[in-house]
Amino acid sequence: MRTNHLSLLAALLLGPALASCVTVKPQQRAVLADPIMQFEGDPQSAAQLRHAIDNREGSYGGGGVSGGGCGCN
């Protein structure tokens, strides 16, 4: 279990560091900036479905956050 926790911690720390090696130029962000590339599709619709499901499962919450990785919002 301890090894699993350490692996997770390492991934969380190393992941963002690796991200610095990647650059999507502003002129390449047309697709990422489009509403179709939001993580929740339509955040309002996702929130509505989540609100309904949360009351029917024993492990609700924590599915992610809204927004995207394009720097457009």
Partner 1 sequence: MGPCVLAVSLFASAPARAQVAVLDTAHTFYHEAPTRTNMTVYTPGVDLAVTPAPWVTIRGGYEADIVSGASVSVKAGRAYQAVNPGADVISTASVNDVRHAPRGGIVLRKGDVAYTAQYTYGTEHDYKSHSIFVSAKTEAYEHDTQFELSYARNFDLVCDRTQAVNDRPPRFRALEDSKACFGTSDPLRTRHTLSIDGLQAAWTQAWTPELATQLAYTAQLIEGFQSSPYRSVILAQGLKAQEHHPENRARQSVAIRLNYYIRPIKVAVRIGARVYRDTWDITSGTGDIEVEKYLFEGFRVAARGRYYKQTGASFWSDDYTGGDPPLGPKGQYWTGDRELSPFSSIGLGLRLTYGIQPAKGRLLGLMTGLKLGAAADAIQFSYDEYTLGGVPITNARAYVLGANVSASF
Query: Which residues form the interface with partner 1 (CB under 8 A)?
Result: 8, 12, 15-16, 19-20, 22-26, 28-39, 41-45, 47-49, 51-53, 55-59, 61-73
> How far apart are the C-alpha atoms of 40 and 69, rounded to whole Å?
12
Measured distance between the N- and C-terminal CA atoms of the chain, rounded to whole angstroms: 38
| Contact (Cβ atoms closer than 8 angstroms) between residue 29 and residue 70 | yes
User: Smallest distance from the beta carbon of 68 to partner 1, in angstroms?
Assistant: 6
User: Smallest distance from the beta carbon of 6 to partner 1, in angstroms?
Assistant: 15
Give the residue with the Cβ less far from partner 1, 2 or 25: 25
> How far apart are the C-alpha atoms of 48 and 43, rounded to whole Å?
9
User: Smallest distance from the beta carbon of 10 to partner 1, in angstroms?
Assistant: 13
Residues in the chain, overall count: 73
